[in-house]
Amino acid sequence: MSKEDRDRADARFNKAARAANDAKVVKSDSDVTTKAVLDNMARLKALRLAREATAPPAALKKPRGKSSAKKPTEKGPALADWLAGQQSGGRRT
């Protein structure tokens, strides 16, 4: 093996080692960021629970929906009547 071949092999090895080291640095940065986010979420949850514990219970609100919603037993106009109303109103079918 010549000196040139050894130099090329060393360069490849060093490149692979450098890439592995860079991956460790990126992973540790990611771990630090993830830990910071999780710590912040836990802190905010503790604050929310403390606030809810001290506040009086809120009254239950009725769900928002259409106030003119038909009950299942109420029927609309017959289809023929509805179509006639649409045609007399200027709509085409």
pLDDT digits (tens, 9 = 90+) for 24-74: 777 788 888 999 999 999 999 999 999 988 987 777 677 776 666 556 677
Does residue 93 register a pLDDT over 60? no
Indicate whether this model's pTM tops 0.75: no
Residue 34: C-alpha distances to residues 43, 63, 87, 88 (Å)? 14, 37, 63, 65
Closest CA to 32 of 40, 44, 42: 40
Which residue, chain included where needed, has tokens 């809810």?
Answer: 52
* pLDDT(20) > 90: no
- Calculate mean pLDDT across residues 10-37: 84
